[in-house]
Structure 1
Amino acid sequence: MPTLALSRVARMIHRLVELRLSPLGIKTAQLPVLVALKDGAKLTQKELAVIAGVEQPTMAQLLARMERDGLIRREPSPDNWRSSLVMLTAHAEALLEPGRQVLRSIDEEVCAGLGAEDRETFLRLLYKIAEGAGQAES
């Protein structure tokens, strides 16, 4: 069954990413937030939840941990007094490139047996599977 194999491989890679990012103080769950806020972006918790594909309470917990760990800070939104904008700290910005290097090295290591054409085909197939999974959710 392809979906079971895909799930197993995803778990294996998730563990590898967690292990390799751990020395930097970065968790896999934080990656969508770090990517969304790079280059000085400021977004609301609601926007980040949509980007990460999680519910707002889950994002609130994630952001609280990231704030505690010095990765993000919040400032009042000029457009909505009940909302705040989330941004990366200088500490988090400094971790972005080392984090990218870790992810690139994992890509190279995990996909070492695939040529360029196989990688393109694999990505294309993954996007098709993701599209099918998205349709199955709705």
Structure 2
Amino acid sequence: MAEAPLPAIRSLPSWLLGRAAARGRALVAEALAAQGMKMWHHVVLSAVRDLAPVAQADLGRGVGLDPKDLVGVLNDLQSASLVLREPDPKDRRKNAVRLTEQGERMLQRCEEVACAANAELLEPLSEEERERFLEMLVRVSGTRETN
């Protein structure tokens, strides 16, 4: 059997992390799709829960989504009765976004299936290895753990 091409590239941490990230995204996307949701829907619902009521512009900056793309996501979510856009109580010229009860239930389902998908991703690791791996990922990614 022939050796896989590019052994030097395929052994780089950046390559391996990219492959693991792609697998993780695929698992989560598939789980969310079974709920009729996309990744950005889940991200925006989660941010709305954490920030509500939140001005639409602040929401877009908070999740790093272009305003045009955010409008599309919010249109999808509002059409599904998952969020409401209403005049911002702090500035009536702006829209504020909040979850509906249905949006809260959908977000809970999304969180459950995303957690299950992440558990599947990390299934080859022991519980101790998972904890250590996550600690190392936080350090390598340059982000801080928030929980």
- TM-score, with length taken from structure 2: 0.77
| CA displacement at 1:114 relative to structure 2 | 1.4
Q: Work out which of the residue numbers 73, 98, 108 in structure 2 matches 1:87.
A: 98
Gaps of 5+ in 2: 1-11
Secondary structure of the residue aligned to 1:17 is helix
Question: 2: CA distance between counterparts of 1:41 and 1:121?
Answer: 33
| CA displacement at 1:85 relative to structure 2 | 0.6
Contact 1:21 1:27 (8 Å CA) reproduced = yes
Question: 2: CA distance between counterparts of 1:97 and 1:6?
Answer: 28
| CA displacement at 1:40 relative to structure 2 | 8.7
* Residue number in structure 2 paired with 1:135: none
* Residue number in structure 2 paired with 1:3: 14
Is 2:122 the counterpart of 1:111? yes
1:98-124 CA-to-partner distances (Å, cap 9, x unmatched) read 222212221222212212221122112
Question: 1: CA distance between counterparts of 2:137 and 2:67?
Answer: 27
Secondary structure of the residue aligned to 1:54 is coil
- TM-score, with length taken from structure 1: 0.81
Contact 2:24 2:118 (8 Å CA) reproduced = no
The ranges of structure 1 where at least 4 consecutive aligned residues each deviate by more than 4 angstroms after the TM superposition are: none
The structure whose residues are more often helix, as a share, is: 1
| CA displacement at 1:43 relative to structure 2 | 0.8
Say which structure, 1 or 2, has more relative contact order (CA 8 Å, 6+ apart).
Answer: 2
Gaps of 5+ in 1: 133-138
Contact 2:82 2:106 (8 Å CA) reproduced = no
1:35-71 CA-to-partner distances (Å, cap 9, x unmatched) read 1223793111122123212233332222122222322
Structure number with larger C-alpha Rg? 2
The alignment-based identity, stated in percent, is 29
Question: 2: CA distance between counterparts of 1:42 and 1:25?
Answer: 24
Contact 2:42 2:107 (8 Å CA) reproduced = no
Q: What is the root-mean-square deviation in Å for CA atoms of aligned residues?
A: 2.1
